[in-house]
Amino acid sequence: MTRKSVLREVREVQLAIELIELGARLQFLEAEVDLSRERLIRLYKELKGVSPPKGLLPFSTDWYMTWLANIHSSMFYNMYQFMLTHANESGLQALIKSYRLYSEQIESQGSEIVLDFTRAYTMVRFFDSDMLQLSTCCRCGGKFVAHAHDSKNGYVCVLCRPPSRAGKARGAKRAAPGIPSESGLQKPASPADRPEAAPAGRALQAALP
Ligand SMILES: [Zn+2]
């Protein structure tokens, strides 16, 4: 086995620390960071004070379709795409930066993080393996996470057509951020149609460079 350069090893440790602090799980760390499993586990324990949780990533694409999850997922994926295309970031750096931006945005509104890092990463993989797509809402122009191969014609998003119980669940109302539309402007809609979405949407647009 060849000896790794010290500098490279330091970078890998820094990357692992950054990912652990964002909430990455062990499987993800093993896939993305060039450090042994033992060292990753030790790092994790030192940073978090507990052993990394065991078990596989349990999610299916259905989770991303529920009302609140879809709003958060769509907000995150729009940021991720922005980082990839406009900020010229690699996949992993785009993931880290857009997840940070998403968390900061949600926290600045006093809302709760709905999309954790593992779900964000799993979603990116679902997009990469052509299981999810972004569909453009024909009413507001925002781009939302949808099942791949669903018809893109006449798609109406969860903000423009929320389910009747949307926003009534505890905490759901204030946790709903907005999605930037393609034009960068959100069309105003009646409050009944867009629960608490517009102020958050404007905040999101302001946060994007
Ligand atoms: Zn819409």
Total domains in the chain come to 2
For 118-151, the pLDDT digits (tens) are 999 999 999 999 999 999 999 999 999 999 988 8
- 157 CB contacts (<8 Å, ≥6 apart)? 74, 135, 137, 139, 140, 142, 144, 179
For 26-62, the pLDDT digits (tens) are 989 999 999 999 999 999 999 999 999 876 666 689 9
Question: What is the span of the domain harbouring residue 67?
Answer: 61-207
Q: How far is the CA of 179 from the centre of ligand 1 (A)?
A: 9
105 and 172 together in one domain: yes
Global pTM value:
0.75
Q: How far is the CA of 183 from the centre of ligand 1 (A)?
A: 13
With respect to residue 141, please indicate whether it lies within any of the assigned structural domains.
Answer: yes
96 and 134 together in one domain: yes
Q: How far is the CA of 67 from the centre of ligand 1 (A)?
A: 12
CA distances from 182 to 66, 134, 136, 141 (A): 23, 12, 9, 6
CA distances from 190 to 33, 69, 182, 187 (A): 47, 22, 20, 10
Residues 98-102: contacts with CB within 8 Å, 24+ apart? 99/22, 100/22, 101/207, 102/72, 102/75, 102/76
With respect to residue 68, please indicate whether it lies within any of the assigned structural domains.
Answer: yes
With respect to residue 142, please indicate whether it lies within any of the assigned structural domains.
Answer: yes
74 and 44 together in one domain: no
35 and 85 together in one domain: no
